[in-house]
């Protein structure tokens, strides 16, 4: 009996002290900038269309004709807009053309994983609406791994350059994490 209650006390103490250390850790704010290269054309695309409605060339509404298309991406993330600059990471995931009218927009479900520098091995994930024709698009960061475990935050994306459907997108990500 005495043994059991001592054990219960010990477990309660360990739980309480681990909670305290978690709570005592201060949250950090990290800002990261990079450029994402989304290449649809040519022999080495980084974004491939995997689903969509049969396009109807007679349709006059371009947004409606793209509605339902799904792309899987593995886009390089670089330090400057030049493709040959330092590779910081890769954006892997799915975007879907989720708008029927008015404003062309994507649903982004993408993990941004880092492969060099101080964030090497860590990642964060974005889920959100991306009205790509807007100058700046804000998307929520819903979590992360490694340094960014338990992260929340947001990113601001703007189109740096566009060539047909190939785009270079500048990202400013703000993460709050332990």
Ligand X SMILES: *[C@@H]1O[C@H](CO)[C@@H](O)[C@H](O)[C@H]1NC(C)=O
Match 């600059």 to its residue by tokens: 85
Tell me the CA distances in angstroms from 157 to 12, 50, 132, 154, one per residue in order: 46, 24, 9, 10
| Nearest distance in Å: CB 14, ligand X | 31
Query: Which residues contribute to the site for ligand X (CB under 6 A)?
Result: 33, 35, 54, 56, 58-59, 82, 84, 115-116, 120-121, 158, 170-172
Nearest to ligand X of 72, 145 (CB atom): 145
Q: What are phi and psi of 25, to 5 degrees?
A: -65, 130
| Nearest distance in Å: CB 42, ligand X | 15
Nearest to ligand X of 18, 116 (CB atom): 116
Using Cβ positions, the residue closest to ligand X within the complex turns out to be: 170
| Nearest distance in Å: CB 19, ligand X | 31
Comparing C-alpha atoms, which of 142, 144, 170 is closest to residue 157? 170
Nearest to ligand X of 72, 140 (CB atom): 140
| Nearest distance in Å: CB 113, ligand X | 11
Please state, in angstroms and rounded to a whole number, the distance separating the CA atoms of residues 39 and 83: 11
74 Cβ neighbours under 8 A, 6+ residues apart = 46, 90, 91, 92
Nearest to ligand X of 92, 172 (CB atom): 172
């Amino acid at each position: 009996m005495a043994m059991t209650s001592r054990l219960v006390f010990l477990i309660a103490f360990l739980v309480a002290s681990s909670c305290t250390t978690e709570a005592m850790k201060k949250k950090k704010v990290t800002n990261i900038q990079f450029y994402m290269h989304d290449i649809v054309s040519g022999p080495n695309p980084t974004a491939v269309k995997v689903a969509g409605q049969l396009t109807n060339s007679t349709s006059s509404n371009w947004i409606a004709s793209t509605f339902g298309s799904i792309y899987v991406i593995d886009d390089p993330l670089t330090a400057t807009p030049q493709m040959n600059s330092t590779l910081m990471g890769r954006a892997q995931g799915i975007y879907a053309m989720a708008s029927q009218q008015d404003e062309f927009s994507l649903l982004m479900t993408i993990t941004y994983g880092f492969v060099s520098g101080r964030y090497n091995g860590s990642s964060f994930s974005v889920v959100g609406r991306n009205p790509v024709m807007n100058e700046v698009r804000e998307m929520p960061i819903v979590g992360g791994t490694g340094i960014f475990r338990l992260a929340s935050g947001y990113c601001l994306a703007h189109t740096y350059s566009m060539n047909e459907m190939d785009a270079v997108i500048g990202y400013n990500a703000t993460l709050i994490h332990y």
